Amino acid sequence: MNPFVSRNIIYPLQEKLLHRPTFPYLRELEQSQWYSRSEIEALQLKKLQALLRIAQRYCPWHSQRINESGIDIEQLSLDNLSQLPLSTRVDVQQNGEQMTWRGVPGGVFRYTTGGSSGQPLIFNFGRTRQAQDAASRIRARRWWGVDVGEPEVYLWGAPVELNKTDRIKTIRDRLLNQLLLNAFQMSAEKMADYLKAIEQFKPRCIYGYASSVALLAKYAQETQTCLSLPDLKVVCTTGEPLFPEQRHLISQVFGVPVANEFGSRDSGLTAHENKHHQLLQMSESMIVEVLDQQGRAVKPGAMGEAVITGLCSEAQPFIRYRTGDMLKLSDTADKDGRGLHVLDAVIGRSTDFLVHQDGSIVHALAAIYTLRETPGVEQFKIIQQRINEFEILIVTNAFWKPASLGSIEQKFKARFGPQCRTHIRLVDSIAPEASGKIRQVVSKVEPVF
């Protein structure tokens, strides 16, 4: 599809039919990014007050907490946001319905997430939140010279995308100039096919899990595959920390810079690198606090936990939500003059690869999705002990059903082969590693090409 037609007709028509205000919000973001820092913070405060009014009126769980905090929404400042209590994944798991505004314009949509936190989560979002993520990502792509409708390759693996392989989905991808490659299938044969498909597609951008893109780059390097990608502007990575050696490898193989983004399904796209490799926050769409173990704000450069308030999360407000991700704030300004806040570093989140019984490499999220879709799983850890043997630790809550044991076993066999054996243990807690982090997926099997 001609990029001009895709950008100006197909994509806007899709968003309009779905009642998502993506392009109106994009126009706002293109202007507001050039506000001064104080102007952006004034905009944050205005949106925060609007969100709290909605939460107080339509969401009983939030309403009680707002009232108990004693804050005056109309006299609120960003400095006294800390008077509101923190919220957690467990709060959302147990009180999701009481947090949700069912009457939100555009409707409520259910989503399940787990990511690298190991605590599956079902939550609701609305059209405004969907538009926030899409518009923010489009804006960030433009920082790198990539616009809507230009060819883009996705190395992705979420079942919601991969299961929709019918004719309508295929036509939609073609109309939007998107090519989807399965990050859950990374055998040598598959990766050889992926490299050929990417070269033929002539993308302006490649987007995928950091570890999956790095694995594909490593395969290209080890097989001495020389790529010709004259239109490629940037490789954007997501889902995990991007390590320096991965950045160097990807850039070397694909011949363009690498830009990492930070975010999650529940809190949304939080930050994206600019051309100076500064990690700019999506400040108009969320407030990011970085707190120590006592819940106090840390100074720039000090590590703390990211606590997010989603300013576009009207359907199910995420207010002072503990993400479990460890960050460092920066006191520097965007080198191009934007007023957006800057992150210094993302410390947390990493996953291992797992190995299929046929020796092919499987992204860890393939196993994570199985656990996160199971009701009653509050926390988990997956350990691949041997090629066909998985140990799974599960902390359950009141929604757990014993029948889920068989369901998990069958899903692992479907994903990793019929000889796969699962040893599931229900435990009271999962101990962290010596580093203090909890690794949700651990493989003791060395992947081989």
Output 112 or 90, whichever has higher pLDDT: 90
Which of the following CATH numbers is that of domain 353-443: 3.40.640.10, 3.30.930.10, 3.30.300.30, 3.90.1300.10? Answer: 3.30.300.30
Specify the pLDDT at position 120: 66
- What pLDDT score does 161 carry? 47
**Could you read off the pLDDT of 268-288 as tens digits, one per residue?**
899 999 999 999 999 999 999
How confident is the model at residue 163, as a pLDDT? 52
Residue 10 pLDDT class (50, 70, 90 cuts): confident
Could you tell me what percent of the chain has a pLDDT over 90?
Answer: 63
In this predicted model, what pLDDT tens digit does every residue of 239-258 receive, in sequence order? 877 888 899 999 999 999 99
Residue 439 has pLDDT above 50, yes or no: yes
The overall average pLDDT reported for the chain is: 89
- In this prediction, residue 358 has a pLDDT band, given cuts at 50, 70 and 90, of confident
Alpha-carbon Rg for the chain in angstroms: 22
Residue 435 has pLDDT above 80, yes or no: no
Task: Please report the pLDDT score of residue 306 as a whole number.
Answer: 92
6, pLDDT greater than 80: yes
Which pLDDT band, with edges at 50, 70 and 90, does 264 fall under? Answer: confident
Task: Locate 430 and state its tokens.
Answer: 């999962």
| Rounded Cα gap, residues 413 and 315, in angstroms | 36
pLDDT in tens, 171-207: 777 788 899 998 878 888 899 999 999 999 999 999 9
* Residue 413, both tokens: 């066999």
Instruction: Say how far apart CA 271 and CA 443 lie, in whole Å.
Output: 29
pLDDT on residue 168: 66
Integer CA distances (angstroms), 339 to 43, 50, 155, 284, in order: 12, 22, 32, 10
Give me the sign of the Cα torsion angle 184, 189, 195, 196. negative
| Residues 220, 391: Cα–Cα separation, whole Å | 32
Query: In this predicted model, which residue has the larger pLDDT, 354 or 308?
Result: 308
Q: Residue 353 corresponds to which amino acid?
A: F
Q: Exposure pattern of 34-56 as b/e (b: 16+ CB <10 Å)?
A: ebeeeebbebbbebbeebbebbb
3-state secondary structure labels for all residues of the chain: CCHHHHHHHHHHHHHHHCCCCHHHHHHHHHHHCCCCHHHHHHHHHHHHHHHHHHHHHHCHHHHHHHHHHCCCHHHCCHHHHHHCCCECHHHHHHHHHHHCCCCCCCCCEEEEECCCCCCCEEEEECHHHHHHHHHHHHHHHHHCCCCCCCCEEEEECCHHHHCCCCHHHHHHHHHCCEEEEECCCCCHHHHHHHHHHHHHHCCCEEEEEHHHHHHHHHHHHHCCCCCCCCCCCEEEEECCCCCHHHHHHHHHHHCCCEEEEEEECCCEEEEEECCCCCEEECCCCEEEEEECCCCCECCCCCEEEEEEEECCCCCCCCCCEEEEEEEEECCCCCCCCCCCCEEEEECCCCCCEEECCCCCEEECHHHHHHHHCCCCEEEEEEEEEECCEEEEEEEECCCCCCCHHHHHHHHHHHHHCCCCEEEEEECCCCCCCCCCCCCCEEECCCCCC
Mean pLDDT of 351-376: 82
Q: Residue 217 contacts by C-beta under 8 Å, 6 or more apart in sequence?
A: 249, 250, 252, 253, 254
The residue ranges of every structural domain in the chain are 353-443
**Mean pLDDT, residues 108-117:** 71
Whether the model clears a pTM of 0.85, i.e. scores above it, the answer is no
Q: What is the pLDDT of residue 115?
A: 47
Angstrom distance (rounded) from CA 399 to CA 179:
38
Tens-place pLDDT, residues 17-55: 989 999 999 999 999 999 999 999 999 999 999 999 999
| Bridge partner residues of 152 (DSSP) | 178, 205
pLDDT at residue 160 above 50?
no
- The arithmetic mean of pLDDT across residues 368-383, rounded, is 88
pLDDT of residue 4: 85
- What per-residue confidence (pLDDT) applies to 449? 52
Question: 408 and 396 in contact (C-beta within 8 Å)?
Answer: no
When mean pLDDT is compared across 25-34, 69-78, 157-166, 196-205, the lowest value belongs to: 157-166
